[in-house]
Structure 1
Amino acid sequence: MTASLPRDAAGATGATSPSLSVDDFDFDLPPELIAQHPAARRGDSRLLDAGSPPAWRDRGFRELPGLLRRGDLVVFNDTRVIPARLWGFKAAQGDAPHAQAGPALGGVVEVLVERVLADHRVWAHVRASKSPKPGQVLWLGARRPDAPEGALPPSSAPLFAVRTVGRAGPDDSLFELAFPSEPLALLDQYGAVPLPPYITHAPGGEDAERYQTVYARHPGSVAAPTAGLHFDDAVLAQIDAAGARRMAVTLHVGAGTFQPVRVSDLRQHPMHSEWYTVPEATAQAIAEVRALQVEARAAGRADAAPRVVAVGTTAMRALESAALAAEAEGAAFGTVLPGARDTALFVTPGYCFRVVDALLTNFHLPRSTLLMLVSAFAGMDTIHAAYAHAIAQRYRFFSYGDAMWLCREDAGTLR
């Protein structure tokens, strides 16, 4: 990784410096450090305190409340992971979508629902030997062959038919499918937990519980906001006891979060789009923190000022996207615009952060947009050294892995 870049005018709008390449965000990870299962209990993971480099501190996750200040605003992503993965078959030519007799089945298909729309429609990734055409019927609800008992419906469960509407999504990489009834209900009945591609076991009962935060509320994600997986009720209560406030945003995480960057020039990377909501109460709480920060800095007490702490990169992207939306409407720098929108914000070194002061995050994949985001936040040198330390100390990586505490590289400056 290279040294941190200056925050120039282009970076302030999220543009990427031409001097950066995907190779700047590569590292070697021993495969045995990729966590295949969560810690025995929530909160038992490790926490690398990289908030004051280069003095790394190896902590337990339950020490997190001790890193907070009174008045800090801790923002969680309260999205809920849906059982978005389905298996089934193409209908044989001429088979009707609502046939009463057993369907005539064709080739095998795998469907990963990316976004639930109105009118019983979804956007989805479809894997098949040949892409389905508009009007093609898919019979879904089959059991994955290597799934453990209880993870999916029995193989004798009736299949249900969906109709392919056509290509969908910003770059036509998805398919729009018409479900026969409410998609979320059908997914609850037939779907499987959409574990990341680097987790090799079939989803089971443990995953149904642990690949979900304890505070998940709004269904819509196909990947967990993994920094939140460490929290249990006891840690949340300790955050309250520390005098910090808890608020929420919702960002429905898409499968694109696992996509590696395949272009050398980062400016050519097509960032996936995700839907987010910032409640009015969260936007107001951030405005209150900002006012307290201005007062503290004027009084020479900046080190004691409350901070906005994002739990995970998804909470950060929602907040920063809402700040950019506010700027577009003429609001002051650092203002957060409440409401629901799409975001395709791609944060790389050079980006000027508007809202978030501290970040709790897991360890991310090489060459990934999330590694680029944390490098922009804490500085590329800091992240390079922190990851080297984590590998040397045998931290566990990725979704079921350990966590890291980071502070913004320019946190001492007035925004």
Structure 2
Amino acid sequence: MSEETKHIKISDYDYPLPDERIAKFPLAERDNSKLLLYKSGEVSEDVFHHLSSHLPQGALMVFNNTKVIQARMHFRKETGALIEIFLMEPASPADYELMFQTNGKCSWFCMIGNLKKWKEGKLNRDFEINGHKLTLSASVDRTKAPEVAGGTNHWIDFEWNNGNVSFAEILEAVGELPIPPYLNRETQESDKTTYQTVYSKIKGSVAAPTAGLHFTDKVLKSLDEAGVVRDELTLHVGAGTFKPVKSEEIEDHNMHTEYIVVHRHTLENLLKHDCSAIAVGTTSVRTLESLYYMGVKLEMNPSALETELHVNQWDPYDYAHNDDGLVLVEGRVVTVEKAIRNLLAYLDKDKLEALHSSTQIIIAPGFTYKIVKMLVTNFHQPQSTLLLLVSAFLKGDWHKVYDYALAHGFRFLSYGDSSLLIP
């Protein structure tokens, strides 16, 4: 199975996407977006605010509650050169929550725009918070630039001269929201609202989990009234989500690592719902499907450390499976329920309320979905790993969805329309 998947040609996942079909801005009412319905091979359409009428009563629906941070900062050198620093991942402290509470100094792995103009020295930027003048300085520590995200990131030390101001406040004052590059426009004030889900809570993403952008309080209320059970997890979306597949075969594409937090109640909710869920967005899919493989790792080694639960890109394809796609460990079938119970036992052992881990999982044709039974998602870029994920979910039938969307005036990508996929 793994070899066939690794030799998938990304050129087979192409389709024509004219620029005018890419939604540059969202609709004024986000839940008025169109909703494509794919049910067992049949395609139709509705309006997003009718979503609850298409979902089974009592089903578990899982949302990604990450919040997009104002991750893009600009500094001007004394020479006039403009340097862009794009925050990618916390370095010190490495914990997202601690990072945003940090006072005085912190360090991040960052991408740098116009790096050739910044050979050495500190960059400074003056600004005000609540009438207090502050200076933020940035410097590159070239001894600490590891091979993170394909070696494109640099370790940047930030310092500011007011110990009472947190890094979260700094970003609020000088950061810009990093909207997707394919929108081909500057970030606008309206994006601060429209490029966040209404249920976003946990700061850390540099891109929105865009399937969630269609939800309004009204739609969430209609889900509750329809008996749909809502739960949340956190996956901090990295800029790697926009990374194009440049290799001919996906074997040579290096998936980015993303950080996840899943609380005990979510695992318990999964058990109550036969380990089945409706995922809102591909980030929720990647997290939920990674849980199974984390549980498999605990089946192999019950005393595994948190870092050892990381799901590598090819883990799902390299294990021995039975005909149902379940992993075999020493001849034993690891059911989805067993994997989830292993994760709960792991939390119990260390008296933890949440699982903190990371995933690099690539979901492509040849992958067997274990937990996600229905998917709410937007329309993705041609030749992207997200299109591979959708194809795997629809057992190759993605063309039917995209041909319909192109022929019926659907809007594409982050601010575009939505779909409900039920294989």
- What residue number does 2:310 align with? none
Distance 1:170 1:198, change over 3 A: closer
Of 225, 246, 259, 1:262 maps to 246
- What residue number does 1:353 align with? 369
Check the 8 A contact 1:123/1:176 in 2, yes or no: yes
Residue 161 in structure 1 maps to residue 137 in structure 2: yes
Runs (5+) with no aligned partner, structure 1: 1-7, 91-103, 143-151, 292-306, 409-415
In the alignment, the residues of structure 2 paired with residue 260 and residue 125 of structure 1 have an alpha-carbon distance, to the nearest angstrom, of 16
Of 173, 187, 195, 2:152 maps to 173
What pairs up with 1:14-413 in 2 under 5 angstroms?
17-53=5-41, 55-90=42-77, 104-105=78-79, 107-119=81-93, 120-130=106-116, 132=118, 136-140=121-125, 160-166=136-142, 167-168=145-146, 169-181=148-160, 182-290=166-274, 307-330=276-299, 332-334=334-336, 335-336=339-340, 337=343, 339-380=355-396, 382-408=397-423
In the alignment, the residues of structure 2 paired with residue 173 and residue 131 of structure 1 have an alpha-carbon distance, to the nearest angstrom, of 16
RMSD between aligned alpha carbons?
Answer: 2.1
User: How much has 1:200 moved relative to structure 2?
Assistant: 2.2
In the alignment, the residues of structure 1 paired with residue 118 and residue 274 of structure 2 have an alpha-carbon distance, to the nearest angstrom, of 51
User: How much has 1:131 moved relative to structure 2?
Assistant: 7.2
Distance 1:262 1:346, change over 3 A: same
Check the 8 A contact 1:132/1:164 in 2, yes or no: no
Check the 8 A contact 1:162/1:177 in 2, yes or no: yes
Distance 1:16 1:116, change over 3 A: farther
Check the 8 A contact 1:121/1:183 in 2, yes or no: no
Distance 1:386 1:401, change over 3 A: same
* Partner SS state of residue 17, structure 1: helix
Check the 8 A contact 2:35/2:417 in 1, yes or no: yes
In the alignment, the residues of structure 2 paired with residue 57 and residue 244 of structure 1 have an alpha-carbon distance, to the nearest angstrom, of 22
Deviations 1:75-108 (A, max 9, x none): 0000000011111134xxxxxxxxxxxxx45632
Amino acid at match of 1:308: A
User: How much has 1:136 moved relative to structure 2?
Assistant: 3.8
* Partner SS state of residue 48, structure 1: strand
- What residue number does 2:303 align with? none
TM-score by length of 2: 0.79
Amino acid at match of 2:114: A
User: How much has 1:18 moved relative to structure 2?
Assistant: 4.4
Runs (5+) with no aligned partner, structure 2: 94-105, 161-165, 301-333, 344-353
Distance 1:247 1:367, change over 3 A: same
Deviations 1:51-97 (A, max 9, x none): 231x211110011101111110000000000011111134xxxxxxx
Distance 1:140 1:110, change over 3 A: farther
In the alignment, the residues of structure 1 paired with residue 155 and residue 251 of structure 2 have an alpha-carbon distance, to the nearest angstrom, of 28
Distance 1:178 1:310, change over 3 A: same
* Partner SS state of residue 141, structure 2: strand
Check the 8 A contact 2:65/2:202 in 1, yes or no: yes
Distance 1:240 1:395, change over 3 A: same
User: How much has 1:140 moved relative to structure 2?
Assistant: 4.7
In the alignment, the residues of structure 1 paired with residue 55 and residue 209 of structure 2 have an alpha-carbon distance, to the nearest angstrom, of 20
Distance 1:57 1:123, change over 3 A: same
User: How much has 1:318 moved relative to structure 2?
Assistant: 0.8
Larger displacement relative to structure 2 (106-115 or 258-267)? 106-115
* Partner SS state of residue 238, structure 1: helix
Deviations 1:195-247 (A, max 9, x none): 00011221122100000001000000000000000000010011011111000
Share of identical aligned residues, percent?
35
* Partner SS state of residue 26, structure 2: coil
User: How much has 1:129 moved relative to structure 2?
Assistant: 4.7
In the alignment, the residues of structure 2 paired with residue 45 and residue 81 of structure 1 have an alpha-carbon distance, to the nearest angstrom, of 22
Check the 8 A contact 1:138/1:164 in 2, yes or no: no
* Partner SS state of residue 330, structure 1: helix
Check the 8 A contact 1:16/1:348 in 2, yes or no: no
In the alignment, the residues of structure 1 paired with residue 117 and residue 357 of structure 2 have an alpha-carbon distance, to the nearest angstrom, of 30
Check the 8 A contact 1:79/1:250 in 2, yes or no: yes
User: How much has 1:17 moved relative to structure 2?
Assistant: 2.1
Check the 8 A contact 1:71/1:243 in 2, yes or no: yes
In the alignment, the residues of structure 2 paired with residue 162 and residue 265 of structure 1 have an alpha-carbon distance, to the nearest angstrom, of 39
Amino acid at match of 1:162: A
In the alignment, the residues of structure 1 paired with residue 377 and residue 407 of structure 2 have an alpha-carbon distance, to the nearest angstrom, of 19
In the alignment, the residues of structure 1 paired with residue 114 and residue 107 of structure 2 have an alpha-carbon distance, to the nearest angstrom, of 20
How many correspondences in the alignment? 353
Distance 1:346 1:237, change over 3 A: same
In the alignment, the residues of structure 1 paired with residue 60 and residue 386 of structure 2 have an alpha-carbon distance, to the nearest angstrom, of 22
Distance 1:36 1:159, change over 3 A: farther
User: How much has 1:111 moved relative to structure 2?
Assistant: 1.4
Check the 8 A contact 2:377/2:420 in 1, yes or no: yes
Amino acid at match of 1:139: N
Check the 8 A contact 2:72/2:175 in 1, yes or no: yes
User: How much has 1:19 moved relative to structure 2?
Assistant: 4.1
